[in-house]
Amino acid sequence: MFNDLVKNFFGIRIAVKTHEKVFLGAIPIVLIFLLWVITTTGRNETIILPEGTFEGYEEAPPSVGTRFSEDVRYTIEDATLEYPENDGNPETWLIKGDQRVKITLPSRALSNSVRLTLPKGKLVKRNLADSMTLSDQPAQQQSIASATASDPIDLAATGEVAHTDSNFSGTISYKFENVQSRIFSPVILPSPWEVFSSLPSLWSERSLLTNMLYSFLRVGAGFLAAFIIVFPISLLMGTFSKFNSIFAPLMLFGGYLPIPALVPLTMSLFGTNEEQKIMFLALGFAIYLMPLFVKALDEVDNVYLQTGYTLGAGKFQILNKILLPIAMPKIYDAMRLGFGIGWGYIILAEMVDMGSKGVGTLILTSQRRGPREDIYLVLIAIVIMAFITDKIWEKVGHKLFPYRSQER
């Protein structure tokens, strides 16, 4: 298969087999995904801490292997924090009895305890203080266990507690990802696992399907309103030259008009309600569709018109029997492309009103309040919805114009 791909790789307009198309098309997708994983994966670290209590597990401690999908608070009783200065660089040390651990995580000293904020991770080991006798412990642990509180032992120095796995009694081992070691911060670009793990909450709590339906209905309403206005005007422009001269300046003006500029214009005319969103979409569709409709009619060869005149056809028959049937496949293609463009316009329409539903509102809310992972999920959902609707347009086009696929 590899030889078949390499052979005549730069051939111009050669036939490409289906399995070759699938393989070649998957290459950039896999590369982008790998790049996404590499740039959003940080270094795994393990910190060993004295016994404490996880928030939400006050009655029964979590079992070894428990994963925490969010930051969790961890409280260590009878502990204090120490902040010695080391060459001008402040360091934080947690001290409990004979244990002394260097802390790099967010921490706060309470009246007689210390509360840490552990990043999402996994509890990999627990060594309870009463789980083994002194005689069962290794020599290094016996020396630590027999030390006095007045002479605390630096566990980070003796057992590399801060970043390694060890077997000191009365400790837990917690493994987490150091997000600071990532190339891109999670705020800028979450990892694939973080993005897809937020799908259940986006689906149930934020009603992704309902918001997608709202957006679909708005796109459909805007497209229908634009088609009702643009289609007859385009027929007149593509059929009668003087009508073309009347509307050509407006069509030229609309072609250079930036679509985002229509947002404040429609807001001043229609407010921020549903009417504004639909009219904004209708104007965007009209600006896009009208030149394509007129071009499809203009591209009908004059030979067909001359043949119709020779056979005694009138103006209405020329339009109804010659121009429109020949141009209709291209008009349909323009409608299909225009409907897909509408999914780009809908973001601008719905980001105006935070109180309305829709995918644009979901994106804006996620950008301002979080979670940022939902932004990427909504974008993926938009692409999937646009792809599905495009395939529906394609299937309907095969039914309406079967001869086009036969020619190919």
List, for residues 190-235, the tens digit of each pLDDT value. 888 888 888 888 888 888 899 899 999 999 999 999 999 999 999 8
- Residues 320-347, buried b or exposed e (16+ Cβ, 10 A)? eebbbebbeebbbbbbbebbebbbebbb
Is the whole model's pTM more than 0.75, yes or no? Answer: no
Average pLDDT over residues 229-248: 88
Bridge partners of residue 153, in order along the sequence: 99
Could you tell me whether strands 85-86 and 89-90 are parallel, antiparallel, or unpaired per DSSP bridges? Answer: antiparallel
Bridge partners of residue 77, in order along the sequence: 113
Q: pLDDT digits over 365-380, tens only? A: 888 877 888 888 989 9
Which of these ranges, 8-12, 30-34, 41-45, 249-253, has the smallest mean pLDDT?
8-12
Q: pLDDT digits over 78-129, tens only? A: 888 887 765 555 678 888 887 788 888 888 888 888 899 998 889 998 887 5
Q: How many CB atoms lie within 10 A of CB 232?
A: 10
Whose CA is closest to 155, among 142, 138, 168? 168
Reduced to 3 states, what is the DSSP secondary structure of residue 40? coil
* pLDDT (0 to 100) of residue 163: 38
Q: pLDDT digits over 281-296, tens only? A: 999 999 999 999 999 9
> What is the maximum alpha-carbon separation in the chain?
113
- Tell me the residue ranges of DSSP E strands in 64-212: 67-68, 72-77, 80-82, 85-86, 89-90, 92-96, 99-103, 107-109, 113-118, 121-127, 153-154, 171-178
Q: pLDDT tier at 34 (50, 70, 90 boundaries)?
A: very high
142 pLDDT higher than 70: no
Q: pLDDT digits over 144-165, tens only? A: 333 333 344 344 433 333 433 3
Higher pLDDT, 405 or 140: 405
Q: pLDDT tier at 172 (50, 70, 90 boundaries)?
A: confident
* Domain boundaries, given as residue ranges, for the chain: 2-39, 46-181, 200-407
5 pLDDT higher than 60: yes
Taking domain 200-407, whether its CATH number is 3.40.50.800 is answered by: no
Dist. CA 123–CA 336, nearest whole Å: 53
Dist. CA 30–CA 46, nearest whole Å: 31
134 pLDDT higher than 50: no
Higher pLDDT, 141 or 315: 315
Q: pLDDT tier at 268 (50, 70, 90 boundaries)?
A: confident
* pLDDT (0 to 100) of residue 154: 41
Dist. CA 231–CA 251, nearest whole Å: 13
Higher pLDDT, 141 or 353: 353
In the chain, pLDDT over 70 holds for what percent of residues?
85
CB 318, CB 309: distance < 8 Å: yes
